[in-house]
Amino acid sequence: MRQRLIPSVNRPWSYRQRQTVSWDPDALVFISAAGIPADTTILYSGAAQEITGLEICNALNQLVLDLKTNSLWTAFYALHPIIGGNSTAHSKNLINPALQTMSFVGSPTHNGTGVLFNGTTQSSAVTHVHPDNQNVCFGVYTRNAPIGYYIDGDNGRMWLTDAYIKLYGTANAPLSGWFNTGLVSIFRNNNTQSNFKRNSGTIQVKTDSLNNLPITYDYRHSNRSTRAPFNMSLSYKSRALTNAEFNTFYTIVQTFQTSLKRQV
């Protein structure tokens, strides 16, 4: 590890503090775009997630390094780490902060745990043109167990509730053993299956008669109808991962969330 100067959002580098750390350039771009203070500024004072800006930056940097070390970085089209405690910071896409920014509807609560939707009028959305209409994965990290929520592409083409998974043009495919906290993902890698995975658990495969998904997605995160509040601490969209890749990604994400004191 080489000694590097700590990044600052007020100027490219801070000359007051030094730390032995290898800063990834993509992490630095995100830190600047999200406006996270890379110093001893206290965020979320008094909350269980109270932390310094520098600690958040270190956690984010390690997330990027871990994804790249495990050859997962290029699998993602968008990854929203949802750090910084405000709508601007939470809207930024780690893969490219200038693209696929997340918009919020209904003024959900932003804090150290991520984004809290009220279960009725609040949601978020990201628009993305997908390069492959048969190989796609959506996922979120949620800290609570809402009755149901959905991640969808093009007005409900792809969504997940407490008991069912549904992809474009298909009937509801029942799930078993559903506990909706942690890292949950729905995905497909061909046109005949709907798949679900939670954390490092077994992939549930549902065979159906899928058509090709539309190329352009407007994917959302919220609750369906009137549900319990939904606390989201990370969101991502990627190609379909293998089971081994999912398990590695879960380990990386759990390390990241633990560093931020918001793991489940």
- 3-state helix, strand, coil split of the chain in percent (to 5) is 20, 35, 45
| Of 188, 184, 185, the residue nearest 136 (C-alpha) | 188
The whole-angstrom separation of Cα 53 and Cα 56 is 5
User: Residue 81 — left, alpha, or beta (φ > 0 → left; ψ -120 to 50 → alpha)?
Assistant: alpha
Could you list the pLDDT tens digit for every one of the 264 residues in the chain?
Answer: 443 444 544 433 343 344 556 999 999 999 999 999 999 999 999 999 999 999 999 999 999 999 999 999 999 999 999 999 999 999 999 999 999 899 888 899 999 999 988 877 787 878 766 665 567 787 888 887 654 444 444 333 444 444 344 444 444 444 544 446 888 887 777 766 667 788 888 887 766 555 544 444 445 555 445 455 778 899 998 888 999 999 999 999 999 999 999 999
Buried b (16+ CB within 10 A) or exposed e, 148-184: bbbbbbeeebbbbbbebbbbbebeebebeebebebbb
Q: Two tokens at 71?
A: 């050859």
SS3 for 231?
Answer: strand
CB atoms within 10 A of CB 69: 11
CB atoms within 10 A of CB 123: 20
User: Backbone phi, then psi, for 166, in 5-degree steps?
Assistant: -140, 125
pLDDT confidence of residue 20: 52
pLDDT confidence of residue 24: 97
Q: Two tokens at 241?
A: 């991962």
pLDDT confidence of residue 126: 80
Burial zone of 68 (CB within 10 Å; 0-12 exposed, 13-18 middle, 19+ buried): middle
pLDDT confidence of residue 184: 82
pLDDT confidence of residue 207: 65
SS3 for 184?
Answer: strand
Q: Two tokens at 187?
A: 């995905």
Give the predicted TM-score (pTM) of the model. Answer: 0.83
Q: Which CATH class is domain 3-259?
A: mainly beta
User: Backbone phi, then psi, for 228, in 5-degree steps?
Assistant: -70, 155
